[in-house]
Structure 1
Amino acid sequence: MDVNTRHVLIAGGGYVGMYTALRLQKSLRSELKRGEVKITVVDPRSYMTYQPFLPEAAAGSVEPRHVVVPLRRVLPKTDVITGRVLSINHASKTARIEPRAGEAYDLKYDVLVSALGSVARTLPIPGLAEQGIGFKQVEEAIALRNHVLDRLDLAASTDDEEVRRRALNFVFVGGGYAGVEALAELQDMAWYAVSRYYEDIKPEEMRWVLVEASNRILPEVGEDLGRYTVDRLREAHIDVKLETRLESCVDGHVVLSDGTTFDSDTIVWTAGVKANPVLAKTDLPLDEKGRVRTRTDLRIEGLDDAWAAGDAAAVPDVTGAPGALTSPSAQHSLRQAKLLGTNITASLRGGELRDYRWKHLGSLASLGLHKGAAQLVGIKIKGWPAWFLHRSYHLLQMPTLNRKIRIALDWTLALFFRREVVSLGDLQHPRDEFRRTATPFSAKAEVPAPRKVGSRR
């Protein structure tokens, strides 16, 4: 790289990282062509996941490949490194990178964009690390779908009542968007599958439990719609337990704080997120929640050539009360990323920076097929209209025209064909069958000696 080239390092290839790079590619086209600027994105995955569509991907309403966007495809003028950022020292403008293979190395940069996002916020609950599954990435959505259908197959094939009950108990911990939407979509899918294809299972035998530590769910949609959501979930035979905590789940034995105990093969953890812990290994200014503190123009407080946005950034909300911060939502992430690209371009060219200003429009939640709850600009919407608005809004926000069309086609085909409810339970262990077949022949003693020509043996 030429010594005069300005290197922009984007740590994180999620929503903010991808859209920032996309905006920089367009606005810095001439500088990139002349070699005056270089853009690098570092992320453990080679694709960006649009998380609002994960529940539908898990339920089979959307093809999982259609909710991810390949970074190299949409960022042809950007270097994409598939690896992890281990630490950042902005004083020396150096990031420590761990690639998928090989030794970790230092990467120098001139301009930093912190877009590391959030990770699941877990608690030291006995058994959770061994038994739980998260719901932030597309691989988790695929695995959860396969697992739920596999449990139905198991329950329909066993004579052991204890094994059957355990397989038909499904627990979701956390009453935010991720937990409620994933639970509603998967329960809807399982109810559909059992009603049509599993003669030996009655839908009422399935037990779906939502565990929430506070006294309400979906706080973003307001108290009234939160109560409405609880009522709809309970009408769908979902056991909603408010002001209840998961105490233990060792070996799948679930113990709740209200004294309830039962066994379950399916424990999904969606109880909130926290800022990426990598930020603690940087010299960037952080708030009490571990997020990067920024100014209103998205520059990191007190630093030059350093920017941040998204879930792991504490961005001042100039439209709210004094001291208010923007909420972690797709609405803000998209707009912050675009402004980030615009302001970085202006900074490199000596132009004027703009403040981030966007008033939150409201919240949308899907409660399964044709059911939803929404609050937009103070207006409460329920049922099918809310579900339709949820789909329409997120379809518009889905990156790239290619993915928009594919998702719309998925929905259109679903109008004419039944839902796919096949389990690919062995997808996570594709070599098991081959390994079982090959193992008997691995020992030299078991390999028969070559036979002589003409021998009767």
Structure 2
Amino acid sequence: MSKILIVGGGYAGFYTAWKLEKWLRPGEAEVTIVDPLPYMAYLPFLPEVAAGSIEPRHAVTARRRHLKTTHSVAGKVTTISHADKKVTITPNEGEAYDFEYDHIVIATGSVSRTFPIPGIADNAIGMKTIEEAVAVRDRLVSNFEKAASLPAGPERDRLLTVTVVGGGFAGIETLGELRSFATSLLRRYPEITFDDTKFHLIEAMGRIMPEVALETSLWVIRKLTDLGANIHLDTQLSSAVDGKIELSTGESFESDLIVWTAGVMPRPFLRGTDLPIGERGHVRGRPDLRVEGDDGILEGAWTAGDTSAIPDISATPGPGGFCVPNAQHAVRQAKVLARNIVASLRGEGLADYNHKNAGAVAGLGLNVGVFQSGKFAMKGYFAWLAHRFYHGLAIPTWERKWRVFGGWVGHFFLGRDIVNIEAVQTPRAVFEEFASRPRPKTD
């Protein structure tokens, strides 16, 4: 049997394996997927996880539950030598070992791209993983709890100030959801007023959400401003040392919760492989999702998702002529990639990835959303419903869909759960505090 190795278990990796299981004949190929985490996170739900609208476990999909015949390896691929069709796998537990393959799928996804701004590496939290979204939610609730017992002053203001860096979809949705969540918390914290809470969005460009029309983006700014957010356009973050935010405009304030959403990049380890890498670190791909270098196609090498530079041959190509890094492309590319691998094994023709833009949809907090498709734009409550239904149906497997929709129905009747379990990040603290220890030996 041919050996197919999938590096990365996010959108592109999971969907490739899922579709290969469906389309491969018994005994036709052996599929292995390598990822250090046992689940695929549905990233569009991270802002709602941070706002307590979706349970964290409902926003992830367990690979071992839904991939029936794929061999799952918990670990990382640390070296790739495609010339030898061999990789080194370093498992989470145990010694590293070599693995040979016939076909490799590079689907390692992306990580937060940051800049050397003082204080960001030490104080900011990303919005790229389910763990980060949970940490943001717990921090916000914890800060409300602390601020409720403090008198008015700088420390209280610091705890009740949230800063989001980046005005793309991730940043706007994060700001809108957190602002909505904070407003709902005020009912439970009578010691805190709406005016006590401050929310800031910092964007270096002169507009937000470049994927939508300018008119739509301006409506979003007006709506977020009405909801109590401060939008700083044409503004760069100069420093965030010890939570003190300093902006290029000269403005400064203190913020305990800083969320970074200003861009993503491929995983840096790919530059150390013999795969063809573009200027910005992406694996260079063709429209049929095969990897292509200066000397032509690399047989048996495929790529999809955020880690790849796939030419956008649609009627309205993305910036630079490449598919933009988002879930919509990753899922669709993975389906084409899986079909092309099967076709390659059977000596059949390959298909190019050519998509029709389904539009852009974003949630800006409870009951507020925006939808853009071509020149058509929808705003407000019905756009928010469109956002929920689109992503609720887009998350893979019906088991996950039922859990997500069930959670939304529960929140409709019961409200969002505001329980803070931040202590789970240090689960042994109480045990260690009261644990009996052996007495020191005496001579």
* Shared fold per TM-score greater than 0.5: yes
Identity percentage of aligned residues? 46
Say whether 1:28 aligns with 2:30: no
Question: Helix, strand or coil: the match of 1:395?
Answer: helix
1:7 corresponds to which residue? 3
Give the letter aligned to residue 384 of structure 1: Y
| Other-structure match for 1:62 | 54
Q: What are the within-5 Å matches in structure 2 for residues 186-225 of structure 1?
A: 186-194=178-186, 196-225=187-216
Q: Residues of 1 paired with 2:97 and 2:219: CA distance?
A: 52
Q: Residues 134 and 269 of structure 1 are in contact (CA less than 8 Å); yes or no, is this contact kept in structure 2? A: yes
* Paired position in structure 1 for 2:301: 306
Whether the 8 Å contact between 2:360 and 2:371 is mirrored in structure 1 is: yes
- Between the aligned partners of 2:379 and 2:130, the Cα distance in structure 1 is 28
Kept in 2, the 8 Å contact 1:361–1:377? The answer is no
Give TM-score, length-normalised by structure 1: 0.92
Indicate if the aligned counterparts of 2:206 and 2:234 stay in contact, CA closer than 8 A. yes
Match of 2:12 in 1: 16
Structure 2 alignment gaps of length 5 or more: none
- Which residue of structure 2 lines up, in the alignment, with residue 320 of structure 1? 315
Deviations 1:93-133, CA, capped at 9 Å, x for gaps: 11122211223222211100010111100111111111110
**Structure 1 residue ranges without an equivalent (≥5):** 448-457
Deviations 1:349-390 (A, max 9, x none): 111111111121221111111111111132111111211111
Equivalent of 1:373, from 370, 374, 379? 370
Cα distance in 1, alignment partners of residues 418 and 441 from structure 2:
42
Where 2:164 maps in the other structure, the secondary structure is strand
Distance in 2 of aligned mates of 1:321 and 1:338 = 21
* CA spacing shift, 1:163–1:60, aligned 2, 3 Å: same
Report how many aligned residue pairs link the two structures: 436
Say which SS state the counterpart of residue 387 (structure 1) adopts: helix
> How big is the shift at 1:158?
2.3
Alpha-carbon distance between aligned partners in 1 of 2:103 and 2:356, rounded to the nearest angstrom: 28
Distance 2:284 2:17 in 1: 21
Give 2:243's aligned residue: 252
- Find the counterpart in structure 1 of residue 341 from structure 2: 344
Q: Which of 283, 292, 308 is residue 292 of structure 1 equivalent to? A: 283
1:48-447 matched pairs, under 5 angstroms? 48-159=40-151, 161-194=153-186, 196-301=187-292, 302-320=297-315, 324-438=321-435, 441-445=436-440
Q: Secondary structure at the match of 1:61?
A: coil
In 2: Cα distance, 1:222 partner to 1:106 partner: 49
Structure 1 residue 446 displacement after superposition: 9.7
Residue by residue over 1:235-277, the C-alpha shift from the partner in whole angstroms, topping out at 9 and shown as x without a partner, is 1110110111111111112111111112221111110101121
Instruction: Specify the code of the residue in structure 1 equivalent to 2:222.
Output: D
The separation in 2 between residues aligned to 1:426 and 1:158, in whole angstroms, is 21
CA distance in 1, matches of 2:398, 2:159: 40
Cα distance, 1:321 vs structure 2 = 6.6
Provide the rounded CA distance (Å) in 1 between the counterparts of 2:236 and 2:441. 55
Cα distance change, pair 19–444 in 1 and its aligned pair in 2 (3 A): same
Match of 1:38 in 2: 30
Q: 2:215, 2:272 → 1: CA distance?
A: 42
Structure 1 contact 221–373 (Cα < 8 Å) conserved: no
